[in-house]
Amino acid sequence: MKFAVINFPGSNCDMDLYYAIRDGIKQTVELVDYRNESLEGFDGVLIPGGFSYGDYLRSGAIAVHAPIVKEIIRFANEGKIVLGICNGFQILTELGLLPGALIQNEKSCFICETVDLKVLNNQTAFTNEYQAGQIINIPVAHGEGRYYCDEKTLEDLKINDQIIFEYQQNINGSVAQIAGVTNKQKNVLGMMPHPERAIEKILGSDDGLKLFQSIINYQVKVNN
């Protein structure tokens, strides 16, 4: 499987993702500049965390006008794997590829710690290696990670099993303690926690590794 890690000005977790793919799950991966206009030949697109364009206006608002974005939308619409982490999640909501929005944390401060997440849906391309209800330890690092949506959207998310990860504590004031959601087709995932920072036990947790292994499992089934 061949992955593209999109690099925007201000991205600072691109290399973490790169090494998670190359060394963690031993797959082919390339850094792709935001000015590129093609993602031909790739099987999955990863949008890293960081502060694209300095988070001016609001997080992800400027990144959605980059040339590569049309290809990310095409990928999503064709049912291919798209994963946005932290700022990548913010970009996916700005694009309308995922419902809701990410706003300033409830306590208006930057949060950087390892937190407990519950896996609510393990029947997706991103979670099939986990057990339903499993508690995993994944780092967070964000100032605008508070997930918000209206009541109708929240109801739809629950009905369609689109809420994938749930904080076990009130980390940032997110609606329903949501840490990650998919689109209805479940080929696009956005999450604020950083699984790419939880690939090896020496880092404190390797619970993020199964997310990337899940993607490989899914792709094998698709190809067969």
- Separation of alpha carbons 63 and 43, rounded Å: 22
Helices in the chain by DSSP H: which ranges? 14-19, 69-77, 87-94, 151-159, 209-223
Q: Is 77 helix (H, G, I), strand (E, B) or coil?
A: helix
DSSP character at residue 155:
H
- 194 as an active site residue: the answer is yes
Looking at the DSSP bridge assignments, the partners of residue 224 are none
101 Cβ neighbours under 8 A, 6+ residues apart: 93, 147, 148, 149
Distance of CA 117 to the CA centre of its chain: 14
- 71 as an active site residue: the answer is no
Which residue among 71, 86, 142, 149 is the active-site one?
86
Which residue among 13, 94, 149, 194 is the active-site one?
194
Instruction: Of 106, 107, 112, 131, give the one whose Cα is nearest residue 121.
Output: 131
Six-digit token pair at 164? 């994938």
- 86 as an active site residue: the answer is yes
179 Cβ neighbours under 8 A, 6+ residues apart: 117, 147, 165, 166, 167, 171, 191, 192, 193
Which residue among 71, 94, 144, 196 is the active-site one?
196
Residues with a known catalytic role: 86, 194, 196
